[in-house]
Amino acid sequence: MGLGSWAKRAFHRTGSPRWFFAGSRRWMIGLYTLGIALILVGSIWGLGFVPPERYQGDSFRILFVHVPAASLAQTMYIAIAVAGLVYLVWRMKMAEMLIAAAAPIGMAVTAAALATGIIWGMPTWGKGWVWDARTVSTLVLLLLFFGLQALRQAIAHPERAALAVSLLAVVGVVNIPIIKYSVEWFTTLHQPPSIEIGKRPTIASVYLWPLAVNALGYYCFVAGVVIAALRVRIVEREANAEWLRSWLAKQER
């Protein structure tokens, strides 16, 4: 079997709620376990064992939460935008269910990135919230996640709601490059990134390792949460489906 046909099969299988529901339980548990373990290791390492920063002292340690949260928020939006495109073009209902499941979680992650940013800003910048390009574009990201949720609930017709939400998801992706390049295009108080593809990190390696462990942990954990939310959506939507009933009957026995 070639790679092309394998990808095609994976695409169709993931698109099937029944197949996904049966196969995703192990993934969910695995991602939860791995995520929690990595977050524990990364946080204890980063908060307790690396030396304080030369100028900021201990206050910079919030970076071990702030950076993974901010990165994850953007990645989640990109995933949602891709799902929106898949729904608009292929009308795959799993894609639309993924948006519904992931949007509230994305909102929480973005809120965490903003909150940790405010807490970090207070001792270092001298002010928690600053209206600069990076902070405002991240606030827009929060509003986009909120908007996806609100728009779905505002339209009674499920199929129309799905189309509108998917279109907003795709169009909203233009905000992602704005967040990314805001620190280069404008004079922002927010510092430029320390880690970029193809460049040497400007964060000392003693800090880079716990940060990498934490970031991976957050990604795994949130992926687990998204899968769990998606499974709930599937149960809601396929409540009358024969396969789900027989699965439930099997669980009860």
Partner 1 sequence: MTPPRKQRLAAVLFVLGGTAVTLALVLLALEENVNLFYEPAKVASGQAPHGVDIRAGGMVAAGSVVHDDTGLGVRFVLTDYQGHNFQVAFTGILPGMFREGQGILVTGQLAEDGTFQAQEVLAKHDENYMPPELHDIAQRASDPG
| 128 makes contact with partner 1 (CB under 8 A) | no
- With binding defined as CB under 8 A, does residue 246 bind partner 1? no
Tell me the Cα Rg of the chain.
20
Report the C-alpha gap between 203 and 205 in whole angstroms: 6
Q: How far is the CB of 15 from partner 1 (least distance, A)?
A: 14
Question: Does residue number 71 form part of the binding site for partner 1 (CB under 8 A)?
Answer: no
Q: Which residues pair with 57 in a beta bridge?
A: 53
The residues that bridge with 53 in the sheet, in sequence order, are 57
Which are the contacts of 3, defined by CB distance < 8 A and separation ≥ 6?
Answer: none
Contact (CB, 8 A) for 194 and 203 = yes
Task: For partner 1, give the closer residue by CB, 34 or 164.
Answer: 164
Contact criterion met (CB below 8 Å) for 176 and 211: no
Could you say which of 191, 236, 239, 245 contacts partner 1 (CB under 8 A)? Answer: 191
Q: Cβ 248 to partner 1, closest distance in Å?
A: 35
Q: Choose the binding region for partner 1 from 48-56, 141-149, 227-235, 241-249 (rule: CB under 8 A).
A: 48-56
Minimal distance, residue 224 CB to partner 1, in Å? 29
Point out which span in 8-16, 25-33, 58-66, 236-244 binds partner 1 (CB under 8 A).
58-66
Among 10, 154, 204, 232, binds partner 1 (CB under 8 A): 204
Asked whether position 178 contacts partner 1 by CB under 8 A, the answer is yes
- Give 33 or 191: the residue with its C-beta nearer to partner 1: 191
| CB atoms closer than 10 angstroms to residue 46 | 22
Query: Backbone phi, then psi, for 62, in 5-degree steps?
Result: -65, -20
> Which residue is listed with tokens 């929106």?
84
CA 73 to chain centre: 4
For partner 1, the closer of residues 119 and 173 by Cβ is 173
Task: Pick the piece of the chain touching partner 1 (CB under 8 A) from 36-44, 145-153, 202-210, 242-250.
Answer: 202-210
Query: What's the min distance (Å) between Cβ of 163 and partner 1?
Result: 10
Q: Residue 66 is which amino acid?
A: H
148: closest CA among 136, 132, 164, 159?
Answer: 164
Q: Which of 1, 3, 156, 174 binds partner 1 (CB under 8 A)?
A: 174
Q: Please tell me the distance from the alpha carbon of residue 110 to that of residue 112, in angstroms, as a whole number.
A: 5
- Site of interaction with partner 1 (CB under 8 A): 50-56, 59-60, 63, 85, 88-90, 123-127, 130, 167, 170-171, 173-174, 178, 185-187, 189, 191-194, 202-204, 206-207
